[in-house]
Amino acid sequence: MKIGWIGTGIMGLSMSGHIQANGHELFVFNRTKNSAEPLLAKGACWCDSPADVAARSEVLFTIVGLPEDVEDIYFGENGIFSVEGDCRIVVDMTTSRPSLAKMISRKAEDKGIDSLDAPVSGGDVGAKAGTLAIMVGGRRNIFHKVLPLFQLMGQDISFMGGPGAGQNTKMCNQILVAGTMIGVCESLLYASKLGLDQDAVIRIIGKGAAGSWSINNLGPRIVKGDYEPGFIVNHFIKDMRIALEEATEVGLSLPGLGLVCQLYLAVKAQGHGCSGTQALFIALESLNGGRL
Amino acid sequence: MKIGWIGTGIMGLSMSGHIQANGHELFVFNRTKNSAEPLLAKGACWCDSPADVAARSEVLFTIVGLPEDVEDIYFGENGIFSVEGDCRIVVDMTTSRPSLAKMISRKAEDKGIDSLDAPVSGGDVGAKAGTLAIMVGGRRNIFHKVLPLFQLMGQDISFMGGPGAGQNTKMCNQILVAGTMIGVCESLLYASKLGLDQDAVIRIIGKGAAGSWSINNLGPRIVKGDYEPGFIVNHFIKDMRIALEEATEVGLSLPGLGLVCQLYLAVKAQGHGCSGTQALFIALESLNGGRL
């Protein structure tokens, strides 16, 4: 099948690589051509604009940075919607605004094409291994059409409801992560301040009712002072802001998420925007007068 | 061995039952004699006061409700420290103030006996099954003396450091739970408000980097409107207050824990003090104008 792919960052490159490896013909665009080279070297066709991709592919995937980038790629000059081409289905896999997913869905419908929003979780590791979780919003019959392609990229693939439901599910994921991370960081901060062996603390509290992926995977990194990113602070802030804006729009107060987002803005202000999300620990340390 | 046991609530009854079932002679006191009946029926000796227990047992365990109760049992009139008896080691398994654990340790030392603080996690289910996690503070050689008895009650038993270290580790556990719970409840609140199938959301976000014991075990109960307690709100508030007081004493600011504790006070104010900790969802719902 002729597959369009826009966005060849860390995630997109691995994901489109699985599609390509399965024998599909790839039509690729990215802001910087350089990062698409591994795909081009294996025979993918370079396109000069999103419109060019849309003109030449049947199913088109996008995964870029910010909702603003998504908007530009779909609605901008030389955007996906600026041409009448072969494209029948567009799938945005960026973590983006649920309201933007609905806008894309409406505009696509006007043009007689179908759309899905399908953000992922699982990070670069999951993208590489093809084990992502994929949360999909849109029309169910379109979901089933695209499912064989999703299955090349992910393991745990769920249809969640109409347009925007994929994005909203990803927001649920990020809200959950936000709460868990403040728990992880404050718990280890307390352990440190009270002179406990933090690794021993993680070992005993990580197994029971307090246990989480975060305490067991990011906790030990915090103890080692390892702030290398699995998922970077700036992206997490973007996601929390989307969730807070969406919640505000429907009149929903989320005090925990509000606090955690503010603390992550402090992490960024302290120069750790490109560190991993576990760097929340640093901001809480400095809130308490610096390294404990 | 002659084992003293003070506190035969849900936790204490199961825990002491394991000790008794292993052939040890039990000397029991509880505020209400009634709840000790299952032990007495199997041959445990009833004692009329904590002092009486201390006079007749070699190793004495306590697990009661509040730090005030612990203080009374150890330091009060007819308390453990009011007599010279056979007791060589006292072990407080109540989740209580780290500073009180240190006070008990000092007083015990004055009297030539040894002490451990050894709070548990794992709830009534873990107590019944003998699979509790036990976090122990005190002297290491005393820990090793008591270990065979701990092993009758728990599975995951760790020596954490000097007097109070067991209590402080339990505080780490509760701080971690607090953060995770606000994440769980706000995530499911967002899902509900945005019209998602909450069970489907739990299934997909519960497995990856957002996953935790809480979302996978308490999440489904919230969806069903099941607020039956595993662990009750009033006890959790007690624990969070201890953590906040201890943190205040050492000059540590924990903004996440502070917020969550305030929200749980709202849960209690709304009449749900004896519900399970998942009732935080109800307070967040009413904060948002009632049932969504």
Q: Which CATH superfamily is domain A168-287 in?
A: N-(1-d-carboxylethyl)-l-norvaline Dehydrogenase; domain 2 (1.10.1040.10)
- Judged on CB neighbours under 10 Å (0-12, 13-18, 19+), B48 is exposed
pLDDT for A55 equals: 95
Return d(Cα A52, Cα B121) in angstroms, integer: 59
Are the beta carbons of A180 and B179 separated by less than 8 Å? yes
Interchain pair A121, B205: CB under 8 A: yes
| Partner B, chain A 111-140, Cβ-Cβ below 8 Å | 121-123, 126, 133, 135
Which candidate from B98, B172, B217 shows the least CB-CB separation from A187?
A: B172
Chain A positions in Cβ-Cβ contact with residue B177 (cut-off 8 Å): 183, 209-210
State what percent of residues in chain B have pLDDT above 70: 100
Contact residues, A window 196-215, toward B, CB-based 8 Å cutoff: 196-197, 200-201, 203-205, 207-215
CA–centroid distance for B66 within its chain: 10
Which pLDDT score is estimated for A86? 83
Encode burial over B137-163: b for 16+ CB neighbours within 10 A, e otherwise: bbbeebbeebeebbebbbbbbbbbbbb
Mean pLDDT for B192-200 is 98
Place of tokens 């075990």: B217
Element (DSSP H or E) covering residue A58: none
CB proximity B265 to A under 8 Å: no
For residues A234 and A119, what is the distance between their CA atoms, to the nearest angstrom? Answer: 17
Q: What is the pLDDT of residue B241?
A: 98
Q: pLDDT, tens digit, for every residue of B80-99?
A: 999 988 889 999 999 999 99
| Nearest partner of A174 among A212, A249, A121, judged by Cα | A121
Cβ distance B284 to B249 under 8 Å? Answer: no
Give CA–CA dist B112/A199, Å, rounded: 33
Distance from the A8 Cα atom to the nearest Cα atom in chain B, whole angstroms? 23
Angle of the A165-193 helix axis to the A255-267 helix axis, nearest 10: 70
Task: Enumerate residue ranges in chain A where pLDDT < 70.
Answer: none
Q: Is A174 on the interface with B (CB under 8 A)?
A: yes
> Residue B87: its pLDDT value, please?
84
Cα–Cα–Cα angle for B114, B109, B65, nearest 5°? 65
The DSSP element (H or E) to which B206 belongs, if any, is none
Q: Count CA atoms closer than 13 A to B230's CA, side-chain side.
A: 17
ipTM of the prediction: 0.96
Across chain B, mean pLDDT equals 97
Cα A174 to its chain centre, rounded Å, is 10
C-beta atoms of A256 and B251 within 8 A: no
Report the candidate in B188, B63, B70, B39 with the shortest Cα–Cα distance to residue B132: B63
Query: Is B171 touching A (CB cutoff 8 A)?
Result: yes
Mutual orientation of helices A10-21 and A140-153 as an angle, nearest 10°? Answer: 90
* Residue in B158, B185, B189 closest to A200 by CB: B158
Tell me the chain B residues in contact with residue A243 when contact means C-beta distances shorter than 8 Å.
190
Residue B196 has pLDDT above 90, yes or no: yes
* pLDDT at B291 > cutoff 90: no
Residue B279 is given by DSSP the state G
Contacts of B193 (CB under 8 A, 6+ apart): A247, A250, A252, B288, B292
Q: Which of B161, B212, B245, B264 is nearest to A219 (CA)?
A: B212
Measured between CB atoms, does B188 come within 8 Å of chain A?
Answer: yes
Chain segment B198-247, per-residue pLDDT in tens: 999 999 999 999 999 999 999 999 999 999 998 999 999 999 999 999 99
What ranges do the domains of chain A cover? 2-161, 168-287
CATH topology of domain B2-161: Rossmann fold (3.40.50)
Q: Is the CB of B180 less than 8 angstroms away from the CB of A180?
A: yes
Q: Is the pLDDT of residue B292 over 80?
A: no
Best CA proximity match to A29, nearest among A68, A93, A73: A73
Q: What is the mean pLDDT of residues B13-28?
A: 98
pLDDT tens for residues A175-217? 999 999 999 999 999 999 999 999 999 999 999 999 999 999 9
User: Mind telling me how many Å the CA of B31 is from chain A's nearest CA?
Assistant: 29
Copy the structure tokens of residue A280: 């929340």
The beta-carbon neighbor of A160 closest among B182, B193, B196 is B196
Mutate to test the interface with B, among A190, A215, A278 (most CBs of B within 10 A): A190
Give the pLDDT score at A239. Answer: 98
The SS3 call for residue B93 is coil
Q: Are B183 and A188 in contact (CB < 8 Å)?
A: no
| pLDDT single digits (tens) B148-187 | 999 999 999 999 999 999 999 999 999 999 999 999 999 9
Q: Do B205 and A181 touch (CB under 8 A)?
A: no
Interface A-B, measured as beta-carbon pairs within 8 A, has a size of 249
**With contacts defined as CB-CB under 8 Å, which chain B residues touch A251?**
288
Give A232's strand partners: A276
Nearest CB partner across the interface for B156, out of A133, A193, A207 = A207
Best interface-test mutation with A: which of B180, B193, B218 has the largest number of A CBs within 10 A? B180
Rounded to whole angstroms, the Cα distance separating B57 from B242 reads: 30
Contact A168 B186 (CB under 8 A): no
What confidence score (pLDDT) does residue B290 get? Answer: 86
Contact A20, A42 (CB under 8 A): yes
Inter-chain residue contact A214 with B212, CB threshold 8 Å? yes
CB B199 within 8 A of CB B242: no
